Amino acid sequence: MASIILVLIYTALSALAGFCTDLCLHRWKRTAHKAAGLRRIWLPAYILLSLLPVFGAFLPDSGAKFALQGAGNIWLGFYIYYGWILVTLLVCMQILCVLSRGRTGKGYGAALSVSLCVTVCLVGYGLHHAQQTAVKRFDLSVEKSAGGLQEMKLVLIGDLHLGVNSRLATTERMVELINAEEPDAVVIAGDIFTSSYGGLRQPEAYAEALRGIRTKYGVFAVYGNHDVEETLFGGFPISPLENAFRTAQMEAFFDACGFTTLADETVLLGGSVQLSGRIDGERAGDGTKNRMTAAELLKDCEKSLPVLVLEHEPKDFHALEEAGADTVLCGHTHNGQIFPGNLIIPFFNENAYGLVRVGRMDTLVTAGVGYYGPPMRIGTDSEVTVVTLHFE
C-alpha cells in the first residue's frame, strides 16, 4: 500500500510539472505556433526521465537497475527544483495579473526559461559541492577527570551512504582529511550504506580506502536506519519493517574496513573515556525496533568518568542525560542536505545540526559526508567533524 501511495503522489506531482511546462510552451508567443510539435519531442523524454526512479525501485537487482537508480536520483534533484520554481513562478504571475487586472498570456516564456536555467545551475553546483568535503571543528568541555588525560581528539563522520551515486575518490579524500587530523579515535554515526549492498560498485576498493584510517584507539561505528536491505522509492522505504535485515555482506564490509561496531555496547578509550554505541531506534537490522533503553545502555558505566554515546538518530536526549551521558554524537539529518531542507529540519529535531546543550549534556550532530537520494548538497556541506574533548 505504501508503495502505491508514493507512486501515485509522485505521478501527480510529475503530471503537474509536465502540465505547467506544456502550458508555458502554448502560451509563450515564441513557441505557441509550434507547441504541438515540441510536445512530441519533450513529452516522451520527460516521461522517460520521470520513470527512472520507478525502474530503480521496482526492477530486480541488477547492473541495469542500479544504473537507472543512480540516474533517477540525479533526475529527482533536477525535478524537485524545476517543478518547485516553475509552479511558484506561474502562481505568482497569475496573482500579479489578478491584482493588476492585466492580461494573462505574458511572462510564460520567462517563467519557463528562468526555471530551466536556475535549475540547471543549482543541480550543477549541488553535484559538484557534494564532493567538496569540509572540515568542521568543535571544542567540548567534559567536567570530569579522565584518568590523567587532559584532552582527546575524535573525528565524527556519518551518513556516508555508499551506493549507486558514490565516488571512490571522495571517500579517499575523506580518509586523507581524517588522517591529517591525527585523531585519537574515529566514530561513525551510521548509514554507511543506502539500504543496499549490491548498489555499491567496487566494495573491496571502498573497504581498502576506509581501512586506511589511522587512529590511536581505533574506528568505532554504529549502524544506521539505512544499514539494512530494503526497497526505496524516491528515498522512502516501501518494504515492510519486518523485512529490513542487515545482510552478512554488510557486516563483512564493516569488518573488512577495520571498524569496531557497537550494538548497545560500551568500550573504553584511553582506559578512562567510555564510549557507548546504540542500536538504531528505527531499524535495528533484525526486522524489529528492539534496543536497550538509555538507562539499560549506561547502567554499568562509571559515572565519575566521561560517558560518550554514539547514536545514529538525534533522539532520546533527555533520557540519555538522565542516564548519565556527558556527550552524544549523532548524524542522520544531513543538515537538510539541499535547500530549503536545512530550514525545515530544525522544526522536527531538538538538535538538527551542530552543537546544542541539553541540560548538562552536549549533543553534537554532524551533517555527514554523503548524500541521500539526489547526490547534491545545496545550502549545506559534506563534512568531517573534528571534536576536541577537554577534561578536568
Domain holding 378: CATH number? 3.60.21.10
139 and 283 inside one domain:
yes
| Closest residue by Cα to residue 80 from 260, 339, 363 | 339
Give the three-state DSSP class for 390.
strand
Check residue 6 and give its pLDDT. 80
Check residue 211 and give its pLDDT. 98
Q: Residues 345-353: what's their mean pLDDT?
A: 95
Binned at pLDDT 50, 70 and 90, residue 73 comes out as very high
Q: Are 365 and 314 in contact (CB under 8 A)?
A: yes
71 and 150 inside one domain:
no
Q: Tell me which of 85, 110, 129 is where a domain ends.
A: 129
259 and 319 inside one domain:
yes
235 and 109 inside one domain:
no
User: What pTM was estimated for this model as a whole?
Assistant: 0.94
Q: Are 158 and 368 in contact (CB under 8 A)?
A: yes
Q: Are 327 and 361 in contact (CB under 8 A)?
A: yes
For residue 105, pLDDT beyond 80: no
| Cα dihedral across residues 227, 233, 236, 241: positive or negative | negative
- 195-223 pLDDT, tens digit per residue, is 999 999 999 999 999 999 999 999 999 99
Q: Tell me which of 90, 110, 129 is where a domain ends.
A: 129
Range of the domain at 109: 2-129
Q: Tell me which of 112, 129, 146 is where a domain ends.
A: 129
| Cα dihedral across residues 377, 159, 244, 59: positive or negative | positive
118 and 170 inside one domain:
no
119 and 199 inside one domain:
no
199 and 341 inside one domain:
yes
Check residue 106 and give its pLDDT. 74
15 and 106 inside one domain:
yes
Selection from 3-7, 230-234, 358-362 with the highest mean pLDDT: 358-362
225 and 190 inside one domain:
yes
Interatomic CA distance for residues 252 and 250, integer angstroms:
5
Backbone torsions φ then ψ of 11, nearest 5 degrees: -65, -40
149 and 120 inside one domain:
no
391 conformational bin, left if phi > 0, alpha if psi -120 to 50, beta if neither: beta
Interatomic CA distance for residues 124 and 352, integer angstroms:
26
- 151-160 pLDDT, tens digit per residue, is 999 999 999 9
Average pLDDT, the chain: 95
Binned at pLDDT 50, 70 and 90, residue 1 comes out as low
Count the domains in the chain: 2
Interatomic CA distance for residues 297 and 364, integer angstroms:
19
Binned at pLDDT 50, 70 and 90, residue 97 comes out as confident
Check residue 7 and give its pLDDT. 83
Binned at pLDDT 50, 70 and 90, residue 308 comes out as very high
Check residue 104 and give its pLDDT. 56
Backbone torsions φ then ψ of 329, nearest 5 degrees: -115, 125
Check residue 343 and give its pLDDT. 96
307 and 339 inside one domain:
yes
Q: Are 109 and 31 in contact (CB under 8 A)?
A: yes
62 and 181 inside one domain:
no
